[in-house]
Structure 1
Amino acid sequence: MPPLRPGSERSDPGHARYRARYRRILRFAGWNLAVTWWFELFLPRIGLVKIAERTRTRRMRRFAQRFHVLAVDLGGLMIKVGQFMSSRLDVLPPEITAELEGLQDEVPPVDFAQIRARAEAELGMPLERVFRTVEEAPLAAASLGQAHRATLAPAEAEEVGFEAVVIKVQRPGIDEIVDVDLAALRKVGGWLSRVRLVSSRVDMPALVEEFAVTSLEEIDYLHEGQNAERFAANFEGDDRIAVPGIVWERSARRVLTLEDVTAIKITDGDALRAAGLEPSEVAHVFASVMFDQLFTHGFFHADPHPGNVFVTPRGGNSDAVPWQLTFIDFGMMGEVPASTRSGLRKLLFAAASRDGKGLVKAIRNVGVLLPSADTRELERAMTELFARFGGMGFAELREVDPREFRDFAVQFSDVIRSLPFQLPENFLLVIRAMSLVSGVCSALDPEFNLWDSVEPYAAQLLRDERGNVVQDIAQQALGVAGTLWGLPNRVDALLGRVEEGALEVQTPRLERRVARLERTGRRAVSALIFGALLIAGAVLRADDLVFGTVLMSLSAVPLMHAVFARGV
C-alpha cells in the first residue's frame, strides 16, 4: 500500500487498521472480477451462455448486497462509489441500483466530542468563543463529514447578515481513509485496464484519477467555499437560484461555516403542495437550471441529489418569483471545457429535433465514439429510435408494450455492442449529474417528459447561437474585406519600388495583372458581403421580420456588383 499523504494525522503506511482496509477492498474487487470473468466471458466461450444468463440476476443482487455491507462498514470513498453506482439507472441493472439506494442515509454519525475536538483544533479556539450555540445532535452525517446547526454571536451575525448557520466538520482520520481508498481503487483500475472489453471503452486509470481529484477537492472545505461563491456569481441576478453565504472568518480546511438555508426537500411533494407549489413546475425549473450549468456556464453541481437541493418559498413579495431552488454542498463540482460544451449543445439540438444522424455526429464530436467507428448502422438505429419512441414521457414509455422494446433491443443490440464506445475524460461527473437530475424530476412528476424541457431550452440556445454566428460572419467579412481593399495600395507601393529601380521586374504585363487582381479582389469582397448580409437576414428574420427582410434586400446590391462587374 502506498504511503499516506504527508501532513495527515497518521502517516505510518504500515498501520494495521489501514492495511486491513486496503486488503479488504482488494479482496472484494478481486473475487467479484473473477466471478464476472467466469460467468460473462469464459462460460459463453465454451457454449454455456444460458447458465450465465440464468444466474445473472441473482449474482447481481448478491454483489450489490455484499457491496452495501462493505460500504457501510468502511465508509469513506466506498460510500461515494456506491452512490455513483446507485445513480447509474441507465447502465446498471435495478438489482444493483435499488440495493444501493439510500446508502448515504445509513452512515453512522461520529460522537460530538470528536467533532468538537476537530473543529476547535482547526479554528484555534473553543466553540463557545466562536458560536453562541451549537447543537450536539447532527443535522446530517455523511461519508466524509457531518453537519451541526449553530448560531453566530450577535456582532458577527450583524456583520454577515444572518445568524443561523450550519457547521460542516470533517470526520477524524478521513484524510488517511481517502488515501487508502484511492490506493485500492487505483490498483483495481489497473486490473481492469488489462481487460480488453473494459480498456476499449474507457481509460480506467484516468477515470480513477478523475475520481481522485474530485475526492481530494471534496475534503478541502476552503475549496468548497470558493466553489459556492463561483456558483453564486454565475447565477447572479437569476431569481430562480439561491446559494448559502460563507462565513470565512469561521472556516478552515476541515471546518466550513455557512448560512443555514434548510427548506423544503426538493422531492417532498406533499410539503411542496402544502406551500402552494406545483411539483411538476419545480421539475421543469430544476431541469432548466441544470441545463444552464452544463451548457452555458460549464461549471455544474455534480451531486444534485435530493438532500442537496431545497425549494425555498419567498413569501408575499409580488415583485419576486414565489420560490427559489437553493443548492448546498459544493464539494463535488464539475467543469465542462468550451469545446466539449459546444459538442453537448449540438447533441442537445439533435435530440430536440429528433435528428438521429445529427445525434450520432454530435456523440462523435463529444468524444464518446472512437474516431475509427463506422456509425452508419448506429445512425439508422438512432433514427429508428426517434421514430418509435421520440417525444414520449416516462409515463408513456411505461405503457408501451415491453415486446416492442425487446424487439428494438434485439434488432440493434449487435450494432451497439460492436461500436467502439469510450468514456471521455471529465464525463464521469456529467453522467452522474444528469442521472440524478432525471431521477429527481421523475420523482417530482411521474409524467415528466424530458422533451418538454429540452425543446424550449434548445430553442433558446439556438436563438442565442444565432447572434454569435452572425457576429462571427460579420467579423470574418470585415477582416477579409479590409485585406482585399488594402491590396491595391500594396500593389501601388510595389510598383513604386519598381519605378525607382529598387526592384527589377522583367514582365511587361504586370500592370494588367495588377488591375485584374484589383477587380477580382473587389468582386470577392462584394460576394463576401452579399453572403454575410443574406445569412444574417435569414437568421434574424425568424425573430425580427422587418429587420431581417431589410438585410436580405440589401444583399442584392453587392450581389449585382459581384455578378455584373467587368470581367477579368
Structure 2
Amino acid sequence: MVKVGQFLSARLDVLPEEITKELSGLQDEVAPESFESILHAIESELGMSPGVAFAEITAEPIAAASLGQAYKAKLSPGLAGDLGITDVVVKVLRPGIENIVDVDLKALTKVGGWLSKVKLVSKRTDALALVREFSEITLQEINYLHEAENLERFAEAFENDPRIQTPNVIWERSAKRVLTLTDVSAIKISDVEGLVAAGINPNAVAAELARATFEQFFVTGFFHADPHPGNIFITKAPEGAAVDFTLTYIDFGMMGQVSEELKANLQRFLFAVASRDARAWVVACERLGVLLPSADTLLLEEAVSKLFDRFGGVRVGELIQTDPAELREFGIEFSELVRTLPFQLPNDFLFLIRALSLISGVTSELNREFNIWDAVDPFARSLLNGSGTGTVKRLGKDLLANLLTLSQLPGRIESVVSRVERGDLVLRNPELERRMRVLDSSIRRATAGLVFTGLVIAGVLSLPENQNLGFTLLGISALPMLYALGFGRFTR
C-alpha cells in the first residue's frame, strides 16, 4: 500500500498538492524494523553471521523504505583487501514482506476489478491492467538479485558516459533478500544549497539530468523508473577530470524498458518535433498508438502545422504571455478537433510518464526557469547529426530526406485511402451539421466549463511545487474557457 502511495505522490497532474505532499512522506518516514530482526535476516540469507560478513554495521538505518531498509557498513578485512573496497551500503528486505505484498496485491486486484466496472474509470484506463503491471514490478522489487542485474545492465549502457555513475555490486555479500553495494553517498540532487557550496552549477545539473533521461528513453531503451531526488546523487569530480560533476543513480528495483519498435517510434516523434514536421508528427503518433481510430488525421495535421509555425521553439513561460486573441482564433478554427481530443494512452507509456514527471519536478527545483521540453530540441538535433545509434542515424537521414522533397503528398493520399477503407471518410452537409451542433451546444459548453474549472484548480495547486506544470495547465484552460463562454460562435 505504501508503494501505491509513492506512485501517486509523483502525480501532481492528477492529485492536489495537499495530498501529494502527504504521500511524499512515505518515501522517507516508514517506521524501521528492529535491528535484531535485520541481523537475523542477514545471517539467514548469507549463511554467515553479520560479524563474519561485515566488520561493522551501523545500528540505525540510513533509509527505511516500504519494502526494505539500508545500513552503512564496512566489509570484513579479508574481502575488503581483495576488492579494494571498505565502505558499503547493505540493503535488507523487511522480514515477512513477501507475505504482506502477496495479501495486498490480491486486495488491489479485487479493487481493480470493481473499478473496471465503473464507466468513469473504464473509459479512461484499464484498471486491472494497471494492477497487473504494478504487481509485476513490485514482485521484482522484492528480489534483490533482480535489482543487481538491473544495476549492472544500466551501468553497462552508460559505461562510456563520464557523467553517469552507479554503485558496484558486492556479489560476495548479496542474495535475494540482501544486497550489498559500494557506498556512493554524495550531495542529494535536490540540495541546491549543497550544490552551490560545492561549486556546482544547479542549472548545469538540471540540463545534464534532462539529457541523461532522454538518452535512456530514446537511445538505450532501458530507464530508471523511480528517479526521485533520493535516488540521484551529485558528486564533484576531482581536478583534471573530463567533467566537473557526475550523476550517480541508486535503487534499480523499478526499471522501465522500451522495445525496439517503441524506441524507433519515439525517435520518429522526437525528430518530428525538432524538425517542426506536422505530417511526420501525426505518423509518429499513429505508430505509437496514441491516436484513436476515429481521429481526423488531416485536420490534426493542419492544426499541428499551425502550432509549429506559431509556437515552435516557444518556452512555456512565453506561451503564457501569448495574446488571448491568438488562442481564441485557434480555438474557433479547430473547435471540433479540440472538443473530440483524439488521443489515448497506451500502457507502454505509464512508466515513461511517471519517470518524466519526477524528472520534471527535480529539474524545476534546480532551475525555476528550466523547462525539460527545452532540452528535447538540442537532444533531437544531436541525434539527427549522427551522434546516435545506427537506427537513430537511419531515421534521421530518412527524416531529412523527407524534409528536402515533396514526399508528403503520397503520405496524404495513403491517409485518405485508409480513412475510406475504415469507412471514416464521409461527405458532410455543413448546414445539417450546424443545426446538430446547435442542439447540443449547451451541454458541450457546460462540460467545457467543468474542464476549465478543473484545469484552473489543478494549475493553481501545482504552482508551488512545479511552476512549469502549473502555468501549462493555466494556459491550456483558456481553450475550454473560451468555448464555454461562446466566443467566436463555435457552434456555427
Q: TM-score over 0.5 for the alignment?
A: yes
Measured against aligned partners, the alpha-carbon deviations of 1:135-178 in whole angstroms (never above 9, x if no partner) come to 01110111111100000122211222311000001112211121
Which of the residues 384, 392, 408 maps onto 1:462? 384
Separation (CA, whole Å) in 2 of partners of 1:242 and 1:276:
19
Distance across 1 between alignment mates of 2:74 and 2:301: 58
Conservation of the 8 A alpha-carbon contact between 2:264 and 2:391: no
In structure 1, distance between residues paired with 2:243 and 2:372 = 23
User: What is the correspondence of 1:415-426 to structure 2 with a 5 Å cutoff?
Assistant: 415=337, 418-419=340-341, 421-426=343-348
The percent of aligned pairs where both chains have the same amino acid is 55
Q: Name the CA shift for 1:410/1:232 in 2 (closer, same or farther; >3 Å).
A: farther
Distance 1:423 1:472 in 2: 27
> What's the TM-score once normalised by structure 2's chain length?
0.73
Provide structure 2 residue ranges, at least 5 long, that are not aligned to the other structure.
405-492
Aligned residue in 1 for 2:226: 303
Residue 433 of structure 1, aligned match among 333, 338, 355: 355
Q: Does 1:101 align with 2:28?
A: no
Pick from 133, 136, 147 the counterpart of residue 224 of structure 1: 147
Please state whether the residue corresponding to 1:426 is helix, strand or coil: helix
Residue of structure 1 aligned with 2:296, choices 347, 353, 374 = 374
Q: How does 1:185-224 map to 2 (within 5 A)?
A: 185-224=108-147
Name the CA distance, whole Å, in 2 between partners of 1:261 and 1:306: 15
Is 1:350 the counterpart of 2:272 in the alignment? Answer: yes
Tell me, in whole angstroms, the C-alpha distance in 2 between the residues paired with 1:370 and 1:353: 24
Which residue number in structure 1 is paired with residue 179 of structure 2?
Answer: 256
> Paired residue for 1:365, among 269, 277, 287?
287
How far the C-alpha of 1:418 sits from its partner, in A, is 3.1
Counterpart in the other structure of 1:266? 189
In the alignment, is residue 290 of structure 1 matched against residue 213 of structure 2? yes
CA distance in structure 2 between the aligned counterparts of 1:217 and 1:467, rounded to whole angstroms = 30
The reply on whether 1:170 has 2:93 as its aligned counterpart is: yes
Distance 1:205 1:241 in 2: 36
Query: Quick one: which amino acid aligns to residue 329 of structure 1?
Result: D
Conserved 8 A contact 1:310-1:326: yes
Larger mean Cα displacement after TM superposition, 263-272 or 450-459: 450-459
2:67 aligns with 144
Residue identity opposite 1:194 in structure 2: K
Which one of 391, 413, 420 corresponds to residue 313 of structure 2? 391
Residues 315-344 of structure 1 show CA distances to partners (whole Å, capped at 9, x for unaligned) of 21x143121110000000110001111111
Q: Deviations along 1:502-528, whole A, 9 cap, x unmatched?
A: xxxxxxxxxxxxxxxxxxxxxxxxxxx
How many residue pairs align between the two structures?
A: 400
Distance 2:264 2:218 in 1: 8
Which residue in 1 is equivalent to 2:374?
Answer: 452
Alignment pair present for 1:322 and 2:251: no
- Match among 309, 324, 336 for residue 258 of structure 2: 336
2:42 aligned to which of 119, 126, 139: 119
**Residue 83 of structure 2 corresponds to residue 160 of structure 1:** yes
Work out whether residues 378 and 416 of structure 1, in 8 Å CA contact, stay in contact via their aligned partners in 2.
no
Q: 1:144–1:468: structure 2 CA closer, same or farther, 3 Å change rule?
A: closer
For the pair shown, the structure with the greater C-alpha radius of gyration is 1
CA 1:377–1:190 in structure 2 vs 1: closer, same or farther (change >3 Å)? Answer: farther
Distance 1:140 1:357, change over 3 A: same
Q: State how 1:478-489 maps to structure 2 within 5 Å.
A: none
Q: 2:2 aligns with which of 64, 71, 79?
A: 79
CA, structure 1 residues 465+262, in 2 after alignment: closer, same or farther (shift >3 Å)? closer
- 1:205-229 CA-to-partner distances (Å, cap 9, x unmatched) read 2222111111111110001001111
Q: Does the 8 Å contact 1:394/1:446 carry over to 2?
A: no
SS at match of 1:443: helix
Q: 1:116 Cα deviation (Å)?
A: 1.5
Shift of 1:304: 0.6
What's the TM-score, normalizing by structure 1? 0.64
Shift of 1:89: 2.8
Matching of residue 239 in structure 1 with residue 162 in structure 2: yes
1:267 CA displacement: 1.2
> CA 1:158–1:389 in 2, change beyond 3 Å: closer, same or farther?
farther
What RMSD in Å do the two structures reach over aligned CA positions? Answer: 3.1
Conserved? CA contact 2:219–2:388, under 8 Å? no
The one-letter amino acid of 1:335's match is Q
Deviations 1:468-505 (A, max 9, x none): 489979xxxxxxxxxxxxxxxxxxxxxxxxxxxxxxxx
Does 1:133 find its partner at 2:56? yes
Q: Secondary structure at the match of 1:201?
A: coil
Deviates more, 1:280-289 or 1:108-117: 108-117
Q: Give the conservation status (yes or no) of the 8 Å contact 1:347–1:359.
A: yes
Tell whether the 8 Å contact from 2:331 to 2:338 is kept in structure 1 after alignment. Answer: no
**Aligned to 1:300, what secondary structure does the other structure show?**
strand
Question: In the superposition, relative to structure 1, how do residues 417 and 196 fare at CA in structure 2: closer, same or farther (>3 Å)?
Answer: farther
Q: Whole-Å Cα distance in 2 between the matches of residues 125 and 409 of structure 1?
A: 69
What SS does the corresponding residue of 1:270 show, helix, strand or coil?
helix
Question: Could you tell which deviates more after superposition, 114-123 or 189-198?
Answer: 189-198
* 1:102 counterpart SS class: helix
AA of the residue aligned to 2:211: S
CA distance in 1, matches of 2:342, 2:54: 57
Question: How far 1:353 moved relative to its partner?
Answer: 3.5
2:394 and 2:74 map into 1 onto residues whose CA distance is 53
> Counterparts of 2:30 and 2:370 in 1: how far apart (Å)?
31
The whole-number CA distance in structure 1 between the counterparts of 2:111 and 2:183 is: 40
SS in 2 for 1:258: strand
Counterpart-to-counterpart distance in 2, 1:308 and 1:470 = 29
Give the C-alpha shift of residue 286 in structure 1. Answer: 0.8
CA distance in 2, matches of 1:384, 1:398: 18
Secondary structure of the 2:347 match is coil
Tell me if structure 1 keeps the 8 A contact 2:383–2:393.
no
Question: Which shows bigger deviation, 376-385 or 192-201?
Answer: 376-385
Q: Counterpart in 2 of 1:517?
A: none
Question: Pick from 360, 364, 373: which aligns with 1:442?
Answer: 364
Are the counterparts in 2 of residues 202 and 424 from structure 1 also a CA contact under 8 Å?
no
Task: Rate the CA distance shift 1:285–1:409 in 2: closer, same or farther, 3 A.
Answer: farther
- Please state whether the residue corresponding to 2:28 is helix, strand or coil: helix
Does the 8 A contact of 2:216 with 2:223 survive in 1? yes
Partner amino acid for 2:259?
A: P
Kindly state the Cα deviation for residue 365 of structure 1 after the two structures are TM-superposed: 1.4
| Partner Cα separation in structure 1 for residue 175 and residue 392 of structure 2 | 48
SS in 2 for 1:339: helix
| Separation (CA, whole Å) in 1 of partners of 2:27 and 2:88 | 22
CA distance 1:131–1:451, shift in 2 (3 Å): same
Aligned to 2:236: 313
